[in-house]
Structures are given as C-alpha cells and as structure tokens.
Structure 1
Amino acid sequence: MASQWGGALPPPPGIVPDFVNPPSQRDGNIALHTVLLSIVTIFVSIRIYTRIWITKLSLGLEDCQYT
C-alpha cells in the first residue's frame, strides 16, 4: 500500500518535522495525574471518614461496588 501512495506525505506548510527530539506532553501528563490523584484521594478519605466517624457505620459492600 505504501508503494501505491509513494511513501509518507510531506508535513503541512509551516511545520518542521523533528524526529530526533519530538515535542512531548509528558510533564503536563504527570502534573495532571498528580493533581487528579490527590483530589480523588481527598474525596475517598472524606467518604471513609464520614462513613466511619460521622454515621458510626462500618464499611460495607456498598462502599466497594462498581455500579
């Protein structure tokens, strides 16, 4: 199929290909995952605290169901 098209297409006008050091979004992904994991950890901690100390109930099956 590559021979039918003559190889890869050239980049769009104004774009310079950089195969040696391509742009990366790794740092942004790490920051986003860190922030969201922190927020989720806080919310789960609040849920467990409320369930055990405020309502005086133990954790049950409804606390770990995926519905």
Structure 2
Amino acid sequence: MSNFWVNLYKFPRFLISVSVGFFLTTFQPIFKLLKSKRDKLLFSIIITSIIVLCYRIIQIMTDNI
C-alpha cells in the first residue's frame, strides 16, 4: 500500500514533465519556422485570419451579428 502513495506523490511531477515535453515537441518546428522575417509575417497573417474566422463563425452561429 505504501508503494501506491509513493507513486501518487510522483504523479504531479510526471504530469508536468509530460505536458512540457508535449508542448516543446509540438512547437519546436514552429519556432524553427519563425527565424526569418518573411515566415514570421506569413505565420502571423495565418494565425490572425484563423482567429478572425473562428470569431466570425461563432458570432454567426449565435446570431450576434
């Protein structure tokens, strides 16, 4: 039973390390992409247009035009 509590105490550290590893692995290609100014501009335009598109879609779905 004491082994259970030891594993339970280790879980938060495991959860944090898995989350950080996931985000580093996911965003590393994006950080490499953002090294040139042209790619930064293209990336910001794409992200901004995605956010605006989602906002408009939700606005239209809820009849808040």
Question: Normalization by structure 1: what TM-score?
Answer: 0.40
When Rg is computed on C-alpha atoms for both structures, the one with the higher figure is 1
Task: Give the structure with the higher percent helix.
Answer: 2
